[in-house]
Amino acid sequence: MNISGNKILITGGASGIGLGLAERFVKENNTVIVCGRREALLKDLKGKLPGIITWVCDLSLAPEREELFNWISAEHHDLNVLINNAGIQQIMGIHDTDFFPRAEEEIKINIEAPLHLTSLFLKLQKPDTIINVTSGLAFAPLTSVPIYSASKAFFHSFTLSLRHLLLAKNVEVIELIPPALNTDLGGKGRHTYAPPVGDFINAVFEQLEQGKTEISYGFSENMLKAGPEDLKKAFERMNAPR
Ligand SMILES: NC(=O)c1ccc[n+]([C@@H]2O[C@H](COP(=O)([O-])OP(=O)(O)OC[C@H]3O[C@@H](n4cnc5c(N)ncnc54)[C@H](OP(=O)(O)O)[C@@H]3O)[C@@H](O)[C@H]2O)c1
Protein backbone atom coordinates (compact mmCIF):
# COMPACT_ATOMS: atom_id res chain seq x y z
CA MET A 1 0.00 0.00 0.00
CA ASN A 2 1.01 3.62 -0.34
CA ILE A 3 1.90 4.84 3.14
CA SER A 4 0.60 8.39 2.50
CA GLY A 5 -2.40 10.10 0.94
CA ASN A 6 -5.09 7.64 2.07
CA LYS A 7 -8.37 8.04 3.89
CA ILE A 8 -8.35 5.30 6.53
CA LEU A 9 -10.92 3.95 8.99
CA ILE A 10 -9.33 2.29 12.04
CA THR A 11 -11.78 0.43 14.26
CA GLY A 12 -10.80 0.64 17.93
CA GLY A 13 -8.33 3.38 17.02
CA ALA A 14 -8.45 5.34 20.29
CA SER A 15 -6.28 2.93 22.31
CA GLY A 16 -3.47 0.39 22.08
CA ILE A 17 -2.41 -0.84 18.66
CA GLY A 18 -5.18 1.10 16.86
CA LEU A 19 -3.99 4.32 18.48
CA GLY A 20 -0.38 3.55 17.53
CA LEU A 21 -1.49 3.03 13.92
CA ALA A 22 -3.65 6.20 13.97
CA GLU A 23 -0.79 8.38 15.26
CA ARG A 24 1.67 7.03 12.70
CA PHE A 25 -0.75 7.22 9.75
CA VAL A 26 -1.54 10.87 10.66
CA LYS A 27 2.22 11.58 10.78
CA GLU A 28 2.55 10.00 7.32
CA ASN A 29 -0.03 12.45 5.89
CA ASN A 30 -3.17 10.36 5.79
CA THR A 31 -6.71 11.33 6.78
CA VAL A 32 -7.63 9.06 9.68
CA ILE A 33 -11.07 8.18 11.04
CA VAL A 34 -11.27 6.17 14.25
CA CYS A 35 -14.25 4.60 15.98
CA GLY A 36 -14.91 2.95 19.32
CA ARG A 37 -17.41 2.83 22.17
CA ARG A 38 -15.74 5.22 24.64
CA GLU A 39 -16.75 8.76 23.71
CA ALA A 40 -14.42 10.40 26.28
CA LEU A 41 -11.40 8.58 24.85
CA LEU A 42 -12.31 9.68 21.32
CA LYS A 43 -12.75 13.27 22.52
CA ASP A 44 -9.28 13.21 24.17
CA LEU A 45 -7.80 11.89 20.95
CA LYS A 46 -9.30 14.79 18.98
CA GLY A 47 -7.49 17.14 21.38
CA LYS A 48 -4.19 15.31 20.91
CA LEU A 49 -4.35 14.67 17.17
CA PRO A 50 -5.95 17.61 15.39
CA GLY A 51 -7.47 16.58 12.08
CA ILE A 52 -8.50 13.16 13.32
CA ILE A 53 -12.14 12.26 12.68
CA THR A 54 -14.04 10.21 15.26
CA TRP A 55 -17.26 8.21 15.45
CA VAL A 56 -18.78 6.60 18.52
CA CYS A 57 -20.23 3.13 17.97
CA ASP A 58 -20.54 -0.36 19.38
CA LEU A 59 -19.37 -2.66 16.62
CA SER A 60 -20.91 -5.71 18.27
CA LEU A 61 -24.30 -4.36 17.10
CA ALA A 62 -25.17 -4.78 13.40
CA PRO A 63 -27.39 -1.63 13.27
CA GLU A 64 -24.48 0.46 14.60
CA ARG A 65 -22.19 -0.99 11.94
CA GLU A 66 -24.78 -0.02 9.28
CA GLU A 67 -25.05 3.46 10.78
CA LEU A 68 -21.26 3.87 10.63
CA PHE A 69 -21.25 2.76 7.01
CA ASN A 70 -24.12 5.11 6.07
CA TRP A 71 -22.23 8.04 7.59
CA ILE A 72 -19.01 7.02 5.79
CA SER A 73 -20.89 6.69 2.47
CA ALA A 74 -22.43 10.13 2.89
CA GLU A 75 -19.44 12.04 4.31
CA HIS A 76 -16.36 10.00 3.41
CA HIS A 77 -17.21 8.04 0.26
CA ASP A 78 -13.52 8.40 -0.75
CA LEU A 79 -12.43 6.13 2.14
CA ASN A 80 -9.96 3.72 0.58
CA VAL A 81 -8.45 1.81 3.54
CA LEU A 82 -10.25 -0.22 6.21
CA ILE A 83 -8.32 -1.42 9.26
CA ASN A 84 -10.24 -4.09 11.18
CA ASN A 85 -8.45 -3.67 14.51
CA ALA A 86 -11.13 -3.58 17.27
CA GLY A 87 -11.21 -6.70 19.39
CA ILE A 88 -11.66 -8.04 22.89
CA GLN A 89 -9.96 -10.85 24.79
CA GLN A 90 -11.66 -12.69 27.64
CA ILE A 91 -10.28 -15.29 30.04
CA MET A 92 -12.91 -18.02 30.41
CA GLY A 93 -13.43 -21.66 31.17
CA ILE A 94 -15.82 -24.06 29.46
CA HIS A 95 -17.62 -24.72 32.79
CA ASP A 96 -18.27 -21.03 33.56
CA THR A 97 -22.01 -20.41 33.97
CA ASP A 98 -21.76 -17.43 31.62
CA PHE A 99 -19.47 -19.20 29.13
CA PHE A 100 -21.84 -19.07 26.17
CA PRO A 101 -23.08 -15.45 26.40
CA ARG A 102 -19.50 -14.23 26.82
CA ALA A 103 -18.34 -16.40 23.92
CA GLU A 104 -21.14 -14.95 21.78
CA GLU A 105 -20.06 -11.39 22.67
CA GLU A 106 -16.47 -12.12 21.71
CA ILE A 107 -17.52 -13.71 18.43
CA LYS A 108 -19.68 -10.66 17.60
CA ILE A 109 -16.78 -8.24 18.06
CA ASN A 110 -13.85 -10.31 16.83
CA ILE A 111 -15.57 -12.08 13.91
CA GLU A 112 -19.00 -10.70 12.95
CA ALA A 113 -17.98 -7.04 13.05
CA PRO A 114 -14.95 -7.26 10.72
CA LEU A 115 -16.82 -9.55 8.29
CA HIS A 116 -19.77 -7.16 8.12
CA LEU A 117 -17.59 -4.05 7.87
CA THR A 118 -15.52 -5.63 5.11
CA SER A 119 -18.60 -6.41 3.01
CA LEU A 120 -19.92 -2.86 3.55
CA PHE A 121 -16.54 -1.23 2.81
CA LEU A 122 -16.30 -3.02 -0.54
CA LYS A 123 -19.45 -1.14 -1.68
CA LEU A 124 -17.60 2.20 -1.53
CA GLN A 125 -16.29 3.92 -4.65
CA LYS A 126 -12.57 3.14 -4.39
CA PRO A 127 -11.66 0.66 -1.70
CA ASP A 128 -8.07 -0.46 -2.29
CA THR A 129 -6.68 -1.83 1.00
CA ILE A 130 -7.99 -3.92 3.88
CA ILE A 131 -5.78 -4.49 6.92
CA ASN A 132 -6.89 -7.19 9.34
CA VAL A 133 -5.38 -7.40 12.82
CA THR A 134 -5.13 -11.05 13.87
CA SER A 135 -2.70 -12.46 16.48
CA GLY A 136 0.17 -14.90 17.02
CA LEU A 137 -2.48 -16.92 18.93
CA ALA A 138 -4.19 -17.63 15.57
CA PHE A 139 -1.48 -20.27 15.03
CA ALA A 140 -1.30 -21.88 18.51
CA PRO A 141 -4.12 -21.21 20.98
CA LEU A 142 -3.71 -20.02 24.57
CA THR A 143 -6.32 -22.15 26.34
CA SER A 144 -7.15 -19.54 29.02
CA VAL A 145 -8.54 -17.37 26.18
CA PRO A 146 -10.11 -20.12 24.05
CA ILE A 147 -12.68 -18.08 22.12
CA TYR A 148 -10.23 -15.25 21.51
CA SER A 149 -7.64 -17.68 20.11
CA ALA A 150 -10.24 -19.42 17.94
CA SER A 151 -11.62 -16.09 16.71
CA LYS A 152 -8.13 -15.06 15.57
CA ALA A 153 -7.60 -18.44 13.83
CA PHE A 154 -10.89 -17.83 12.00
CA PHE A 155 -9.87 -14.29 11.10
CA HIS A 156 -6.45 -15.44 9.86
CA SER A 157 -8.06 -18.09 7.65
CA PHE A 158 -10.65 -15.63 6.34
CA THR A 159 -7.89 -13.11 5.58
CA LEU A 160 -6.09 -15.68 3.39
CA SER A 161 -9.31 -16.30 1.43
CA LEU A 162 -10.15 -12.60 1.21
CA ARG A 163 -6.72 -11.79 -0.24
CA HIS A 164 -7.26 -14.40 -2.92
CA LEU A 165 -10.87 -13.38 -3.61
CA LEU A 166 -9.96 -9.71 -4.04
CA LEU A 167 -6.91 -10.18 -6.26
CA ALA A 168 -8.90 -9.51 -9.42
CA LYS A 169 -10.43 -6.38 -7.89
CA ASN A 170 -7.00 -4.92 -7.06
CA VAL A 171 -7.85 -4.68 -3.39
CA GLU A 172 -4.77 -5.48 -1.31
CA VAL A 173 -5.38 -7.49 1.86
CA ILE A 174 -2.74 -7.12 4.57
CA GLU A 175 -2.60 -9.09 7.81
CA LEU A 176 -1.05 -7.56 10.91
CA ILE A 177 -0.10 -10.37 13.27
CA PRO A 178 0.89 -8.81 16.59
CA PRO A 179 2.62 -10.75 19.35
CA ALA A 180 1.61 -9.94 22.96
CA LEU A 181 2.05 -6.18 23.38
CA ASN A 182 1.68 -3.87 26.35
CA THR A 183 -1.92 -2.63 25.88
CA ASP A 184 -5.07 -2.83 28.01
CA LEU A 185 -6.38 -5.81 25.98
CA GLY A 186 -8.29 -8.11 28.35
CA GLY A 187 -8.06 -5.53 31.17
CA LYS A 188 -5.48 -3.15 32.59
CA GLY A 189 -2.23 -4.78 33.69
CA ARG A 190 -2.72 -8.09 31.85
CA HIS A 191 -0.06 -7.32 29.22
CA THR A 192 2.51 -5.26 31.14
CA TYR A 193 5.14 -8.00 30.61
CA ALA A 194 4.99 -7.49 26.83
CA PRO A 195 6.91 -5.10 24.51
CA PRO A 196 5.58 -1.57 23.90
CA VAL A 197 3.18 -0.88 21.00
CA GLY A 198 5.69 1.58 19.48
CA ASP A 199 8.18 -1.22 18.70
CA PHE A 200 5.48 -3.13 16.81
CA ILE A 201 4.32 -0.01 14.93
CA ASN A 202 7.89 0.67 13.75
CA ALA A 203 8.14 -2.94 12.52
CA VAL A 204 4.73 -2.61 10.79
CA PHE A 205 5.74 0.48 8.82
CA GLU A 206 9.12 -0.99 7.89
CA GLN A 207 7.38 -4.09 6.51
CA LEU A 208 4.60 -2.09 4.80
CA GLU A 209 7.31 -0.10 3.02
CA GLN A 210 8.84 -3.41 1.87
CA GLY A 211 5.46 -4.36 0.38
CA LYS A 212 4.84 -7.26 2.79
CA THR A 213 1.26 -8.46 3.20
CA GLU A 214 1.80 -10.66 6.29
CA ILE A 215 3.31 -8.51 8.98
CA SER A 216 4.67 -10.14 12.10
CA TYR A 217 7.10 -9.35 14.90
CA GLY A 218 8.93 -11.35 17.58
CA PHE A 219 6.77 -14.26 18.83
CA SER A 220 4.29 -13.88 15.97
CA GLU A 221 7.11 -14.03 13.40
CA ASN A 222 8.13 -17.39 14.91
CA MET A 223 4.50 -18.57 14.80
CA LEU A 224 4.07 -17.53 11.15
CA LYS A 225 7.17 -19.49 10.14
CA ALA A 226 6.54 -22.49 12.44
CA GLY A 227 6.01 -26.04 11.20
CA PRO A 228 3.61 -28.52 12.87
CA GLU A 229 6.18 -29.71 15.44
CA ASP A 230 7.11 -26.14 16.41
CA LEU A 231 3.41 -25.28 16.82
CA LYS A 232 2.87 -28.34 19.04
CA LYS A 233 5.84 -27.29 21.22
CA ALA A 234 4.60 -23.69 21.40
CA PHE A 235 1.15 -24.94 22.47
CA GLU A 236 2.67 -27.12 25.21
CA ARG A 237 4.95 -24.32 26.42
CA MET A 238 2.20 -21.68 26.54
CA ASN A 239 -0.32 -23.94 28.25
CA ALA A 240 1.98 -25.77 30.67
CA PRO A 241 0.55 -25.89 34.22
CA ARG A 242 2.11 -23.13 36.39
N1 LIG B 1 -2.13 -6.38 22.80
C2 LIG B 1 -1.88 -7.61 22.41
O3 LIG B 1 -1.18 -8.34 23.12
C4 LIG B 1 -2.41 -8.11 21.09
C5 LIG B 1 -1.80 -9.23 20.52
C6 LIG B 1 -2.29 -9.74 19.33
C7 LIG B 1 -3.39 -9.13 18.73
N8 LIG B 1 -3.97 -8.04 19.30
C9 LIG B 1 -5.15 -7.46 18.63
O10 LIG B 1 -4.95 -6.09 18.42
C11 LIG B 1 -6.24 -5.44 18.34
C12 LIG B 1 -6.21 -4.21 19.22
O13 LIG B 1 -6.07 -4.60 20.58
P14 LIG B 1 -5.18 -3.79 21.63
O15 LIG B 1 -4.17 -4.70 22.14
O16 LIG B 1 -4.78 -2.51 21.05
O17 LIG B 1 -6.22 -3.61 22.84
P18 LIG B 1 -7.16 -2.38 23.24
O19 LIG B 1 -6.34 -1.19 23.58
O20 LIG B 1 -8.10 -2.92 24.25
O21 LIG B 1 -7.89 -2.06 21.88
C22 LIG B 1 -9.09 -2.62 21.48
C23 LIG B 1 -9.92 -1.54 20.84
O24 LIG B 1 -11.12 -2.13 20.32
C25 LIG B 1 -12.20 -1.29 20.64
N26 LIG B 1 -13.41 -2.10 20.79
C27 LIG B 1 -13.58 -3.21 21.56
N28 LIG B 1 -14.86 -3.62 21.50
C29 LIG B 1 -15.50 -2.76 20.67
C30 LIG B 1 -16.84 -2.66 20.23
N31 LIG B 1 -17.80 -3.51 20.64
N32 LIG B 1 -17.16 -1.65 19.39
C33 LIG B 1 -16.22 -0.76 18.99
N34 LIG B 1 -14.95 -0.81 19.37
C35 LIG B 1 -14.58 -1.81 20.21
C36 LIG B 1 -11.83 -0.64 21.98
O37 LIG B 1 -12.46 0.62 22.14
P38 LIG B 1 -13.73 0.81 23.13
O39 LIG B 1 -13.47 -0.05 24.33
O40 LIG B 1 -13.75 2.28 23.42
O41 LIG B 1 -14.90 0.36 22.34
C42 LIG B 1 -10.32 -0.46 21.84
O43 LIG B 1 -9.99 0.81 21.33
C44 LIG B 1 -7.27 -6.47 18.79
O45 LIG B 1 -7.90 -7.03 17.66
C46 LIG B 1 -6.41 -7.54 19.47
O47 LIG B 1 -7.00 -8.79 19.43
C48 LIG B 1 -3.51 -7.51 20.47
**pLDDT tens digit string along 196-242?**
999 999 999 999 999 999 999 999 999 999 999 999 999 999 999 98
> By alpha-carbon position, which residue is closest to atom 33 of ligand 1?
36
Whether residue 34 lies inside any domain: the answer is: yes
Q: Summarize pLDDT for 66-122 with one digit per residue, the tens.
A: 999 999 999 999 999 999 999 999 999 999 999 999 999 999 999 999 999 999 999
Return the pLDDT at 74: 97
What is the pLDDT, as a whole number, of residue 242? 80
User: What distance in angstroms lies between residue 11's CA and the mean position of ligand 1's atoms?
Assistant: 8
Inter-residue contact 76 to 34 (CB < 8 Å): no
Report how far ligand 1's centroid is from the alpha carbon of 86 (Å). 4
Mutate which of 43, 65, 85, 148 for ligand 1? The one with the most ligand atoms within 8 Å of its CB, which is: 85
Residue 161 lies in a domain: yes
Q: What is the pLDDT of residue 211?
A: 97
Establish whether residue 56 lines the binding site of ligand 1, counting it when its CB lies within 6 angstroms of any ligand atom.
no
The domain in which residue 173 lies consists of 7-238
> Position 174: which residue type?
I
Structure confidence at residue 168 (pLDDT): 94
Ligand 1 pocket mutation pick from 17, 46, 144, 155 by most atoms within 8 angstroms of CB: 17
Q: With respect to residue 195, please indicate whether it lies within any of the assigned structural domains.
A: yes
Residue 2 falls inside a structural domain: no
Q: Is 148 a catalytic residue?
A: yes
DSSP 8-state code for residue 195: P
For residue 114, being part of any structural domain is answered with yes
| CATH assignment of the domain containing 37 | 3.40.50.720
pTM of the predicted protein model: 0.98
Ligand 1 atom at minimum distance from 20 CA: 16
Number of domains in the chain: 1
DSSP 196: P
The packing angle between helices 146-165 and 99-107, to 10°, is: 30
pLDDT at 77: 96
Tell whether 1 is covered by a domain: no
Tens of pLDDT, residues 136-167: 999 999 999 999 999 999 999 999 999 999 99
CA of residue 229 to ligand 1 center, whole Å: 30
Q: Please tell me if the CB atom of residue 41 comes closer than 6 angstroms to any atom of ligand 1.
A: yes
Read off the pLDDT of residues 26-35 as tens digits, 9 standing for 90 and up.
Answer: 999 999 999 9
Tell me if 191 CB under 6 Å of ligand 1: yes
Residue 94 lies in a domain: yes
Render pLDDT for 5-38 as a digit per residue (tens, 0 to 9): 999 999 999 999 999 999 999 999 999 999 999 9
CB 173 within 8 A of CB 162: yes
